[in-house]
Amino acid sequence: MADRNPLPTADVLIEVGDRIVLVRRMHLPPGWAIPGGFVEVGETVEAAAVREALEETGLRVTLTALLGVYSNPARDPRHHTISTVYVGRAEGAPLGGDDAAEARLFSEADLPSPLAFDHAMILSDYFRFKKTGKRPL
């Protein structure tokens, strides 16, 4: 792995009304996740976030904020990834697609379990950001 670079990914916390969309992963590692995925060659991180959101939830997202960048080498057991995480808004009912077995709306009080990757920490950062306006460092 010493000769490989980290892989860029993009995730988006999709707000629909006062809830957020999470997807149940179809592939390993299992669990519920923030919609997102790998940035393709020639694609901006913002475009990847919008594309992945549409592929996994069927929702057309407008990005509204940058939450943060998450780069812990252990965040994804498959590869070292660096994720740029956005907040976005959409309307409608999410429908699982691509590699998402299911997509549903949740509030902070009813988050599903288990959460994949480091998404419990990202969700905690998101809910703190919504309450205080402070982004993680």
Question: How do residues 16-66 score in pLDDT, each as one tens digit?
Answer: 999 999 999 998 889 999 999 999 999 999 999 999 999 999 999 999 999
| Residue 15 annotated as catalytic | no
- Kindly report, residue by residue over 73-126, the tens digit of the pLDDT: 999 999 999 999 999 999 999 998 888 889 999 999 999 999 999 999 999 999
What is the signed CA dihedral for 90, 16, 75, 128, rounded to 10 degrees? 120
Residue 1 within any structural domain of the chain: no
Domain that holds residue 20: 7-132
From 43, 46, 55, 102, active-site residue: 102
pLDDT of amino acid 3: 62
Residue 94 within any structural domain of the chain: yes
Residue 2 within any structural domain of the chain: no
Place of tokens 């691509």: 98
First vs last Cα of the chain: how many Å apart? 27
Residue 52 within any structural domain of the chain: yes
Residue 100 within any structural domain of the chain: yes
Supply the pTM of this predicted model. 0.94
Nearest to 83 by CA among 19, 132, 13, 27: 13
